[in-house]
Amino acid sequence: MITVPRPGGRSGRADGAGPAAHTRKRSRVRAFGLRTRLLAAFLLVAAVSAGTTSALTYREARNALLKTAQDMAVSTFRDEVERTGWRLPVEEEGIEEILRDLARTGKPRPWVVFAEYGSVRASSGENPVSSVITPELRRAATADRYGSFQRVVKDGVPYLTIGMPTVFRTGPDSVLPSGLVLYAVMRLTDEQVNVDALLVAARNGALPGLAVALVPALLAARSVLRPVRELRRAARSMGSGRLDTRIPVRGRDELADLADTFNESAGHLERSVGELRDAEARARRFASDVSHELRTPLAGMLAVTEVLDEDADRLDPDTAQAVRLISAETGKLAVLVEDLMEISRFDARAAELNTDEIDVAETIRKTLQARHWADDDRIRTELPPGIRARLDPRRFDVVIANLVGNALRHGGAPVTVRLRTEASSSGTLALVVEVADHGPGIPAAALPHIFDRFYKADAARTRSRGSGLGLAITLENVILHGGTIRAGNLPGGGAVFTVGIPLRAEEAGR
């Protein structure tokens, strides 16, 4: 079965499926849209720069802070140690007093002092041996004999440990290691607090930076998105036929160039389409004019041929045959001109629906009677009464007559005219008229073109009684009613034309 598509441009509902597709596409675009990407990029740059700056600043400040504390502690410890005096060998008794004196002098804050000499271990605190001092520091102090320090974090508490080996003078210029090593252990709690404050400050500085970065990001996104949005709106408006759509060009950036190009292309398109339309209109007007011009002489000719037909019997047989031929061809010419004018009216969109509430079965019956087909035994009808619809009686008559005439002419008898109502897929009730014949059917190759103008399904029969416009006019009439027409073949042979017209035609029509 072939569904004849509605001619494009005629109805604004051709893009009926459009909005849903648009929103789907749009939502996907939005998730990774320009705005999102620009915001992300700006935030990324801001985060990286703010983060790096804060991190570096924080690190430098912290290191400076620690360096100050460490240097002060080490130099103070050395000064204080150098003020002490020891007898060698160092004796355990009395040593703690010296160590406690040392412990009080701690700068920037008190420390615990440990002494190691031979097997002597003593401290100013409770434990004679510190658990914080690392073997590395001990090695540096005992083996390498350098004053050295190390920061140790134990259980989350940072400590500064200082190892200070001692020497004594054996002469004005010579010293000798005494074997006594003093250690100081200082908690870096205040430094920890300061460092934490630095960290908080760095973080607090970075976060507003990120927030501030959002402003230029949004501005940049806006400056890009607004032209894009305008472009999209303009493209859509052009797609729906408003070819005079133009975009305001702002600035001199790439988007302005794009807008410029769009406007230029739109201008070209508008001009081309205008020219095409003009040409088409001219052609239509020409066909219409030709038909009109032919009508008057044809009317005269028809009157003359009628007279000639009446008098033909009195003429000699050869002349009579010629006269009858002229008469028949003139009649066909008149039909053709009428059909051409009808088509011209459709093309010019001058065709109007004059609807009326009618009984469909009754109308079909009248059509058949008017064509003297009512009592024809080649035609069978299945016309259930009571189906009423708002239709243009004249156009509906043309539709039925064309289909039945076409079936009688090209198909085989019997021709069945069937009327019924049917719920369409969209849920509205439609009246359906089927005209089926028992002929050979329509060749598959001809099906797509069966409603084309002057299309002949059977190439051999170039001279039929039809104008070649009958089905085209039928199609236009059905479309005017807001309906559809399909052509197809029955499984048992024979062609079938199915006309579907919504029952509430006054709503579906224009």
Partner 1 sequence: MRRTCRHGVARRRASWRDLAAAVVAAVGIPLMGGCGIPDSDVVEAGGPATVEAFLNRDADMLLFFRSSDGGLSPVIREVRPSAGFGDDYIEPGAADRGPSGPAGPAPTEKVVLALLSGPGEADRAAGLTTALPAVREKGTVTVEVSSDGGVTARLPLAVQGLDATAVRQLTCTIAYNQTEDGRGVVTLRGQDGAQRSGSCGLAPGASG
Q: Which segment (192-200, 296-304, 396-404, 478-486) binds partner 1 by CB under 8 A?
A: 192-200
Beta bridge partners of 287: none
Options 43-51, 281-289, 391-399, 407-415: segment touching partner 1 (CB under 8 A): 43-51
Q: Is 66 in the site for partner 1 (CB under 8 A)?
A: yes
Query: Counting contacts by CB under 8 A, is residue 177 touching partner 1?
Result: yes
Q: Tokens at residue 52, please?
A: 């790096």
Closer CB to partner 1, residue 5 or residue 172?
A: 172
Distances (CA, A) of 455 to 162, 322, 465, 466, 470: 108, 29, 14, 11, 10
Binding residue (CB under 8 A) for partner 1 from 38, 42, 86, 489: 86
CA atoms within a 13 Å half-sphere pointing along the CA-CB vector of 453: 10
The set of residues, in sequence order, having a beta carbon less than 8 Å from that of 24 and lying 6+ positions away, is none
Rg (CA), the chain: 52
Bridge partner residues of 122 (DSSP): 115
Number of residues that bind partner 1 (CB under 8 A): 80
Distance CA 89, CA 118 (A): 9
What is the H or E stretch that residue 476 is in? helix 470-480
Assess 51 for contact with partner 1 (CB under 8 A): yes
Q: Is 112 near partner 1 (CB under 8 A)?
A: no
Touching partner 1, residues 115-174 (CB under 8 A): 117-120, 134, 136-137, 140, 142, 145-153, 158, 162-174
Q: How far is the CB of 62 from partner 1 (least distance, A)?
A: 7
Q: Peptide bond before 172: cis, by omega within 30 degrees of 0?
A: no
Contacts of 427 (CB under 8 A, 6+ apart): none
Let me know: does 148 contact 61? Beta carbons within 8 Å.
no
Distance of closest approach, residue 169 Cβ to partner 1, in angstroms: 7
Report in angstroms how near the CB of residue 113 gets to partner 1 at its nearest: 12
208 binds partner 1 (CB under 8 A): no
Under rule CB under 8 A, which residues in 20-39 are in contact with partner 1? 28, 32
476 binding partner 1? (CB under 8 A): no
Task: Based on the shown chain and the rule CB under 8 A, indicate whether residue 103 belongs to the binding site for partner 1.
Answer: no
Of 32 and 286, which has the nearer Cβ to partner 1? 32
> In this complex, which beta carbon is closest to partner 1, that of residue 85 or of residue 491?
85
Q: How far apart are CA 4 and CA 144, in angstroms?
A: 101
Nearer to partner 1, 8 or 172 (CB): 172
Considering only 38, 42, 54, 430, the residue that binds partner 1 (CB under 8 A) is 54
